[in-house]
Amino acid sequence: MDRPVFRAYFLQPRFWPLWLGLGLLWLIAQLPYTVLLRLGRCLGGVMYRLASSRRKIAARNLELCFPQMSAAEREALLKENFASTGITFFEMAIAWWWPAERLRRLGTIEGLEHLRQAKADGQGVILMALHFTTLEMGGGLLGMAQNMYGMYRPHKNPLFDYVQRRGREQRLLGVIGRDDVRGMLKLLRAGGVVWYAPDQDYGAQRSVFVPLFGVPAATVTATSKFARMGRAQVIPFTQQRLPDGQGYRLVIHPPLADFPTDSEEADCLRVNQWIEQAISACPEQYLWAHRRFKTRPEGEPKLYKKKR
């Protein structure tokens, strides 16, 4: 797999604002962890007020997924979610740029024996993760304890893409493009571990509709296909930011038994049921600003208001 390469055109004036922003973020990231948490919460409060389109998407998702909550409870959850999203910016810097020993002190990992057993069995592993706001910390902390690769979607800005890949590949063996099916299967058949998140809406073409929090959701069938074709286990993985600056708890859960089956729909339903459980454990830390229910079954109305 290719490695990120610095390009001379990254020094062009059009990239200077991004360089300035990244440099400022690097400087701020040298502050103590608890200070960064407070700064992140403040940033999240500003985002809550200014990022109205994202706030409306997140609020709609909470309304769809937690109808049993009162409006006041959902509003409190929404504000806490934006606070978590603000912290994400500094967690990204921590995961990419802190020295390994300093970063390692922030996390505890449970369940590594499941990955070791898969290796002993000669099987590859699809490490099934979710798009929590703590995603970068989860990957960074686990990547220092376990050799693994990550699925990756290139960023539109080539400079940020370069910086992002360099940051992630300090902790991972490498990254695989989201559409590089051949590369993914090759790694799995060789006994590799691939960090993969199937919890976003990628359209109807590669998905089936199964419930997620009671709402029909376009759910990618790739998880069971990769497991079958790569002869790999699917092992769920979660991370959670602990309260009061205690760091992060990473959990590698037992592998999904009897997976995949002959039914893609049953497999997708099982994945979504696990997703529901994982999100419900810390809903304030999930990435609710994604239009998870954008793709609808034929004939069903849209669930998000159009942008004006």
Q: Give the residue from 106, 84, 110, 57 showing the smallest Cα distance to 307.
A: 57
Q: Which residue has the tokens 């859960």?
A: 253
Residue that has been written with the tokens 């993914």 in this structure: 184
- 9 is written with which tokens? 């055109």
Do 278 and 213 touch, CB atoms closer than 8 A?
no
- Quick one: pLDDT at residue 195? 95
Residue 307 has pLDDT above 80, yes or no: no
Per-residue pLDDT of 25-69, as tens digits, reads 999 999 999 999 999 999 999 999 999 999 999 999 999 999 999
Residues 149 and 193 sit within 8 Å (Cβ to Cβ): yes
Give the integer Cα–Cα distance in Å for 207 and 184: 19
Which pTM does this prediction carry? 0.93
pLDDT digits (tens, 9 = 90+) for 155-194: 999 999 999 999 999 999 999 988 889 999 999 999 999 9
124-128 and 232-241 beta bridge pairing: parallel
- Calculate helix-pair angle for 71-97, 16-28, nearest 10 degrees: 90
Type of residue numbered 286: Y
* Amino acid present at 128: M
The answer to whether residue 3 scores a pLDDT higher than 90 is no
CA dist 270 and 211 (Å) reads 10
Angle (CA) 134-272-129 rounded to 5° is 30
- Three-state DSSP at 151 gives strand
At 226-284, the pLDDT tens digits run: 999 999 999 999 999 999 999 999 999 999 999 999 999 999 999 999 999 999 999 99
Is residue 298 pLDDT above 80, yes or no? Answer: yes
What pairs with residue 238 in β-bridges? 251
| Token pair recorded at residue 158 | 């080539």
> Are 295 and 41 contacting, i.e. CB atoms less than 8 angstroms apart?
no
How many C-beta atoms lie closer than 10 Å to residue 144's C-beta?
Answer: 17
Q: Would you tell me the crossing angle of helices 33-50 and 71-97 to the nearest 10 degrees?
A: 130
Pick from 243, 245, 239, 242: nearest CA to 35 = 245
The pLDDT score that the predictor gives to residue 308 is 56
Q: Give the torsion through C-alpha atoms of 168, 292, 288, 147, to 10 deg.
A: -20
Residue 1: the pLDDT is 58
pLDDT digits (tens, 9 = 90+) for 62-121: 999 999 999 999 999 999 999 999 999 999 999 999 999 999 999 999 999 999 999 999
Distance (Å, rounded) from C-alpha 194 to C-alpha 205? 23
